[in-house]
Structure 1
Amino acid sequence: MHRTVCLLMGLLAWSTPSPAKCLYAPAEALASFKEFPRGLLDANARGGMGLDFQIRMLAGADNATREALRLLAPQANAMQKAAIGLGLAEASLTCGAQSAIVARKIESLVRASGDDDIARAYARSQAYLKPETVDAPTPEANGPDARSIGLDKDVTLVMPDPMAPLPLPGAKTR
């Protein structure tokens, strides 16, 4: 009886995914990042989609990798911080569907970084990527409305007709 219970507990533990990870990251990529984290920023000096994809993959990998990301954040430039915030938001939303624990860890990583640029990019990306805000955008999701920044009425942007003919150089306009 005791042996059967131990066997069942072992099988249950083996088949249950680790609450520390939710996304697959190749072992080589994890080893390379853990060996030289700064290489990620050096290889993606302008931030961009490549960096946010790698951040998403690494943030969903494990706790040690998330800690290395937190320590790397202060070394990033503004474009890299925007990509880091986006990658963390993507990881949090993806992982949240599988493990609320990992999603909370990623969110606490953003707070622990103490970086306003990363936190701002994370919050904006969260608002933009959440399914309920994509279908029905709200003023909060798209930025502040006119009243919240001190204007009395909403300001509308009037764009010129893109199909109107361009004036000739030197011609008088009406």
Structure 2
Amino acid sequence: MYKPLDSKDIESELSYAYLHAVASAAGVNCQIENRHGDNRGIDTRLTCYGPFEASYKEEIDLKVQLKATVAASAETGTHFSYFFRGIKQYDFLREETKNQHRVLVVLYLPEESEKWLSVSPEQLILKNCAYWLSLRGADASANSSGTTVYLPKEQLLSPENLLNIFERISKNESLKYVSP
């Protein structure tokens, strides 16, 4: 069957669809960034409107770099690994000089593309799930091609966990990278 997009493009679009679905279920605005934002490691901007409990803030933005992979992840008891290609974007995400919070979201897809999405009159299923990670304060990469990062299994990107990220930011909690 002819597909107008290659598999990497489809993976990317599914990561947008996943994020948009989770954000919508959480009542969070999801806006795709332009190419200039993408050059800075930002694919989307999420906006959550308060008020937030025990906070004076009423609107919070979160910038997101999206990735998708079919590569088998090395797994520890508590983390998934992901090889982050693109040191320039990695460096933008790990900088501590940015005012707005930034996170990496990685969608892990099955290896076989025919298993990625299932549609029936009863349900729409996107296989596997995404996890989020703040790279703020992470170490510089030791090489120029990429670096392996570790996403905590507890940081499943769900509507509840997304709202928790905004609650944490509303209380001025810094989302920082913690090496496993």
TM-score range, shorter chain: under 0.3
- Using CA pairs below 8 Å that are at least 6 residues apart, which structure has the higher relative contact order? 2
Query: Comparing both structures, which one devotes a greater share of its residues to helix?
Result: 1
Q: Which structure would you say has the larger Rg?
A: 1
Query: Comparing both structures, which one devotes a greater share of its residues to strand?
Result: 2
